[in-house]
């Protein structure tokens, strides 16, 4: 494991990247409604990011064709934007990575489309709250195990399943860096959080199973039993013994 710690200047650049990213996801959220295609959402995000002097980093990453990963309903991760038109009752995770001046930020927000079922709203809220719980324990001197335990314990109490075959990660001058940031773990275990660390924390949750299948060679990751899924993510940095939210994901909410 080779962890690259970041300077204050680098963390500030990741924050600038993250500010563009959050605004892009919020813009997408404002355009989520019945009849809108995934390709259209991808297009407006791509244009916004480029108009703000940044690069949509998912585009062409290991052949991925979109600027966004758009995962609808039982599609949990890495959904390829296509001609599908959203319908009332859908839920959609909008996952995006931005490269600004060589520094990457990563964020995901899950939205409902029109009126959604109560159980799906609870799934979304529980996944979001598990990320908030993780951020609350993400402090210099604590461990990555503390983060994983916070997510896992919250989700289990809520009655859902952690999709444990995927995880958060380090981030900075690359989209994916060490360390892995697991969504499960034991308190006081694993890498100790230190100043200069930058990580993406991302709880990935299935309503009734943790098992997934891939429909497109690593992309279009579907829940194996076709249950609903939700995904939230934030980039977090640590400097001067402070926790800095580099992608302020709650600003993606449509009432913010």
Render pLDDT for 21-36 as a digit per residue (tens, 0 to 9). Answer: 999 999 999 999 999 9
Q: What is the pLDDT of residue 1?
A: 76
Percent of the chain predicted with pLDDT > 90: 97
Nearest to 215 by CA among 74, 10, 93: 74
Q: HSE-up of 252 (CA within 13 Å, CB side)?
A: 28
Taking a C-beta distance cutoff of 8 angstroms, is the pair 241, 140 a contact? Answer: yes
Q: pLDDT (tens digit, 9 = 90+) per residue, 155-206? A: 999 999 999 999 999 999 999 999 999 999 999 999 999 999 999 999 999 9
What is the arithmetic mean of pLDDT over 32-52? 98
Mean pLDDT of the chain: 97
Percent of the chain predicted with pLDDT > 70: 100
For 8-252, CATH number out of 3.90.230.10, 3.40.50.800, 3.90.420.10, 3.60.90.10 equals: 3.90.230.10
Q: What is the pLDDT of residue 161?
A: 98
Q: What is the pLDDT of residue 255?
A: 79
Q: What is the pLDDT of residue 215?
A: 87
Tokens 């939205």 correspond to what residue?
111
Taking a C-beta distance cutoff of 8 angstroms, is the pair 89, 117 a contact? Answer: yes
C-alpha distances out from residue 36 to 46, 123, 174, Å = 16, 23, 32
Q: 256 pLDDT band (50/70/90 cuts)?
A: low
- pTM higher than the cut 0.85: yes
Q: CA 20, CA 23: separation in Å to the nearest integer?
A: 5
Q: pLDDT (tens digit, 9 = 90+) per residue, 73-111? A: 999 999 999 999 999 999 999 999 999 999 999 999 999
Residue 73 falls in which region: left (phi positive, over 0), alpha (psi -120 to 50) or beta:
left
């Amino acid at each position: 494991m080779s962890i690259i710690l970041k300077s204050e200047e680098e963390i500030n650049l990741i924050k600038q990247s993250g500010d563009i990213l959050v605004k892009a996801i919020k813009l997408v959220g404002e355009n989520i409604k019945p009849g809108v295609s995934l390709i259209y959402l991808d297009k407006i995000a791509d244009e916004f990011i480029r108009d703000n002097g940044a690069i949509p980093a998912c585009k062409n990453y290991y052949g991925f064709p979109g600027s966004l990963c758009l995962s609808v309903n039982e599609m949990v991760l890495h959904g390829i934007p296509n001609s599908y038109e959203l319908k009332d009752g859908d839920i959609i995770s909008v996952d995006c990575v931005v490269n600004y001046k060589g520094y990457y930020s990563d964020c995901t927000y899950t939205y409902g489309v029109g009126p959604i079922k109560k159980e799906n709203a609870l799934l979304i809220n529980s996944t979001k709250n598990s990320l908030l719980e993780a951020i609350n324990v993400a402090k210099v001197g604590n461990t990555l195990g503390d983060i994983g335990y916070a997510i896992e314990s919250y989700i289990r109490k809520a009655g859902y399943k952690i999709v444990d075959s995927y995880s958060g990660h380090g981030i900075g001058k690359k989209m994916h860096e060490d360390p892995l940031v697991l969504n499960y773990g034991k308190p006081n275990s694993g890498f100790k959080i230190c100043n200069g660390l930058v990580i993406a924390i991302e709880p990935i949750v299935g309503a009734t199973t943790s098992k997934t299948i891939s429909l497109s060679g690593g992309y279009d990751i579907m829940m194996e039993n076709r249950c609903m899924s939700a995904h939230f993510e934030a980039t977090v940095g640590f400097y001067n013994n402070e926790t800095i939210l580099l992608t302020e994901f709650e600003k993606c909410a449509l009432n913010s």
